Amino acid sequence: MKIDELIEQSSRALFSIELWPPRTVTSEKKLAEALELFSTVEIDFASITYGAGGSTRDNTHELVLKLDRQFNLNPVAHLVTASHSEDELRSILGRYRDNGIENLLALRGDPPIDGAGHFEVGEFTRALQLVELAKEEFSLCVGVAAHPEGHPDSMSLDDDRRHLAEKLKVADFAITQFFYRVDDYLKLIDDLEKLGVSKPVIPGVMAPTAFSTLQKMAQLSGTEIPRDIVDRLAPYEASPDDFKKAGTEVAVELCLALLDEGVPGVHIFTMNQASTTLEIFDSVKGNLNRR
């Protein structure tokens, strides 16, 4: 089902996840175990990431089809413009359409660096060009990425908002990068409304499961880790299990606060960790049922 239609028709907030295509035999086994668990709960859609420059192109495509046909998890395929020609993008979009895939997340992506140290940029330099192609010629439901704190490559927050509004005037929905302050999300929505855009923006949530992973992901995404979160997690840095438990509680509280604000859904960046993700969903739904 197309995501925009799902949001419009649902009487509740959506619950969705992001998965990574496997790169090794070990990660393939871990993902297979995760998919078996995810298939037992009510998940509205699963987005599938795409490596820089198409490095996981075939794995992404295979996983998208597996989710659709074997696990019935309503896949959203990530696709990036970086290092791809327009013909390559048309070929990939055509494969998805011909296989009955209806949803796409259109991204610029991180271009790989060639041997001379230069970024390999594709024919399309902006995600908007991919959005237009996917919608106009392939009739897909297309989402885009949103950054509550601004994209790290943007010249300013205002500039980032204008680019996002331009994309969302064509696209059907957005999924945000992870963040930890509800006010950052609310400001994003307010800024978009001032720019004449009211398309659904689904907040992305990532549970902190280890300090090293949190710091690395924050650096890559430009996300700021609030001091109160750091202080809350710091006592458990030497205890992985306790850190993961505290991080899961942070994610649950953020999800509940966002749902209180009437968001269209919550999207969990799982890092293919089924147990943590299911703990979040169970706790969130349990809290909602007790209200």
| Residues with active-site annotation | 18
CA distance 163 to 188: 13
3-state class (DSSP) for residue 134: helix
Any idea what DSSP says for residue 119? B
Under 8 Å between Cβ of 245 and 209: no
- Catalogue the long-range contacts made by 256-263 (C-beta closer than 8 Å, 24 or more residues apart): 256/284, 256/287, 256/288, 257/182, 258/182, 258/185, 258/203, 258/205, 259/13, 259/284, 259/288, 261/182, 261/185, 261/186, 263/13, 263/185, 263/201, 263/202, 263/203
Residue with tokens 């494969």: 95
Residue closest to 14 by CA, chosen among 231, 270, 275, 263:
263
